Amino acid sequence: MQKIMYSSDRNGSLAGDLKSPPWRADISAENREVLLQISAFIRLAEGFRLGLVKCNQPVQRRQMADLLKEMLVGEVQIQEVDLKEPVDDLRAAVGQLLTEGGQTSTGKRVLMVFGFELSIPSEGSVPALEGLNLSRDLFSCDFPFPFLLWLPDYALTRLAREAPDFWGWRSGVFEFVPDRMLMTTMESATITEMYPEGLSLEKKKERLASLEGLVWDYSEMKRGERENRSYAAVLDRLAYLRFQLGDYPESRRLYNESLRIWQDLGERSGEARTLHALGTLAQTSGDYPEARRLYNESLKISQDLGERSYEAGTLHNLGSLAEASGDYPEARRLYNESLKIRQDLGERSGEARTLHNLGILAQASGDYPEARRLYNESLKIRQDLG
């Protein structure tokens, strides 16, 4: 992408006499230079100037914006608009939020806009981009000062391709590079934290943005084996969250991308987990033959590797699939196989789930005493576990 260039000092640095904060040790030299470019762009701008800022990870975006504010403190009033929902008309939405927030200034000012990527899906039509071409001439009237639009890479690419008239007005494109240390921190937070079932919708959206930022960062960097393992794990977690939010097509696409990476790495354990997840997705979508095929592929790998816990989980899901298909004898056989493994491993939570499902089978078959016994066994374990 084309970047705006500014004249440098004799050493080729943009630092010159520009004021900048004491740099944090974890900010790369490349990103320091980008911050200096943006600060120079703001200082030199008169009237409306469109600056496009590429930064994938929301946490890094916030970090860079805060550093930029430190660099310009006392010189420029920086106003921010954070779009929380998709919009069809960027200009009108930003103008309305500025009015509602009472954001006015008589001195030199700059506007930073975040969240427009919510209006730019990775595929399909984008009314918001079509609108930019039609309304671009009005931006200079409504915003007679520098206008910085922060976007992840995929959204900036779509904007350049599908809003060429608006793109043609850019005075600068500034690209922050992925921060490896920050990526590692975010991976730890998003992969090892609780699964999303217990999160509020707002928290799920925050988690979604962080995971998508990691995916975009990994997509644009050169990856070795270690990075590919991390990338596949992030894809799996993002796919699971998409599944929880009901976006099955995107969840399937992400799982399949992860599966290809696990297979290329020869990482059979990761392959088995992702096949299992794809089976759950197929079962939820009502495609029982495909679900059975995927579960059996996953089961074979888990058995080959001796990963008995995953084997038990897949046997349980095959049992639920047989139950849903009305094949109660096969469901009972599979549940009992799963139960035996879970009891051998001392996995009491899984044991309680399988006992519960065996109780459902007994109840459906009219064997109420056996159903009562199984439910009580499951209940006792759950009470013991709290």
Check pLDDT > 50 for residue 16.
no
The answer to whether domain 29-177 and domain 181-385 are alike in fold is no
Question: Domain 181-385, what architecture?
Answer: Alpha Horseshoe (1.25)
95-145: pLDDT as tens digits: 999 888 665 556 789 999 999 999 998 888 899 998 898 888 899 999 999
User: What is the rounded distance in angstroms from the CA atom of residue 289 to the CA atom of residue 307?
Assistant: 24
pTM over 0.85, yes/no: no
Q: How much is the average pLDDT of 32-50? A: 94
Which pLDDT does position 238 carry in this prediction?
Answer: 94
Check pLDDT > 50 for residue 341.
yes
Residues of the chain with pLDDT > 90, as a percent, come to 72
Report residue 205's pLDDT band, with 50, 70 and 90 as the boundaries: confident
Residue ranges of the domains in the chain? 29-177, 181-385
Distance from chain centroid for Cα 18: 36
- CATH code at 29-177: 3.40.50.300
Which pLDDT does position 4 carry in this prediction?
Answer: 34
Check pLDDT > 50 for residue 317.
yes
Check pLDDT > 90 for residue 156.
yes
Rounded to the nearest integer, the mean pLDDT of the chain is: 88
Sheet strands (E) in 179-290: none
Buried-state track 92-130, b at ≥16 Cβ within 10 A, e below 16: ebbbebbeeeeeeeeeebbbbbbbbbbbbeeeeebebbe
Would you give the DSSP letter of residue 197?
G
211-226: pLDDT as tens digits: 999 999 998 888 999 9
Check pLDDT > 60 for residue 3.
no
Within a 10 A sphere around the Cβ of 149, how many other Cβ atoms? 23
Which pLDDT does position 68 carry in this prediction?
Answer: 93
Which of 290-295's residues contact partners 24+ apart within 8 Å by CB, and which partners? 291/321, 292/318, 292/321, 295/321
